[in-house]
Amino acid sequence: MTCKGICIRHKAQKPVGSGRYATGQKRCQICEIFIKWDGLWCPCCGYRLRTKPRNLKYKAKLRSRKKQQESPIPSTIPVHI
């Protein structure tokens, strides 16, 4: 299938200070656009959306950011007397 122009309505702005995939944006390789969409398939062309980067460097960045979000930081440090 080809791009029908529907994806323009869901075009995502580039986030400041974090990556596109980390903020939940997805990329359609056919439409060549990042979109803010909850589904797994492109609303425009029907192809599957990419949810993770392909580049090894950016994969590592995304993994480290997810790991930081998952690990809670203790609010108080226990003191043993």
pLDDT at residue 41, rounded to an integer? 92
Structural domains in the chain (count): 1
- Model pTM score: 0.72
Say if 75 falls within a structural domain.
Answer: no
The tokens of 9 are what? 């309505």
Domain membership flag for residue 73: no
Q: Which domain holds residue 32?
A: 6-68
What is the distance between the alpha carbons of residues 5 and 74, in angstroms, rounded to a whole number? 48
In a domain, 1, yes or no: no
Does residue 80 belong to any structural domain of this protein? no
Residue 38 burial (CB count, 10 A): 6
Low-confidence spans in the chain with pLDDT less than 50: none
